[in-house]
Structure 1
Amino acid sequence: MVALLWVLGAVILAAGEALSGDFFLLMLAGGALGTAGVSALTDLPVWGDALVFAALSAALILGVRPALTRRFSTPPPTPTGIQALTGKTAQVLEPVDEVSGTVRLDGDVWTARPLDPTEVYAAGTTVTVMKIDGATAVVWKGP
């Protein structure tokens, strides 16, 4: 009877894993399933089952979960296009003020305006691209 409760717990934990997807609850489900097997074959007291569950779950969490996480994790998406330009440095070609200006960004010439409309950046200044607004690079010299 106790083994059946452990199997039920394993099923509930595995169902919870389907919602979270971080392999933690799945390791606990494996511990519960292993404990169900031990409970069915032996006549351990409840605290003995709890120790078996704790040992199996800890072994799975420390031994199996890191490998599963490495295998199935996806790297963060690499920004492409305009999103990849944010944070890059650019060289001012013509003075940048709130009305006009150009910068060389990744080998291309872009129109630019300063992040702070009161600032003016002289030709030759290195600036950082804060965002792209249409076809205009919004730049900042920084501290």
Structure 2
Amino acid sequence: MDSWIVWLLIAGVLGIPLVLTAVPEFLLFAIGALAASGVAALGGGVVLQTASFLVVSVAMVAFVRPIAYRQLQKGPHVKMGIEALQGATAVVAETVDGEGGRIKLNGEIWSARALHPDQVYQPGQQVDVVEIQGATALVV
């Protein structure tokens, strides 16, 4: 069997644990095996094939892996909990003033208070949630 076929088989075998475990480093080693397969197809000796496998695999792990992990960590910031409610629009369910009231926010009834004590919001009016203090939404 030609050595380039052996390297292709090694690359394929390295793909199996990648699929089973989702550990991306196996992909980097499989790319190294593909490089060694290319060297073998071009007529390189066993030492050159092994060296290319090692150099490409180590380079991929040393340079590509940190870049990939940095990119994964930069993902979009997902607002959750109270942070997701700030800036949302709500509908006044019961008159809201500086003392209190009720709003419908994301399908739920919340206690609310006007941010500016002299403001009064009537039922049906739309308000914006500025802040959440405990279980009370401050609205404008």
TM-score (norm 1): 0.49
Alignment TM-score, normalising by the size of structure 2: 0.50
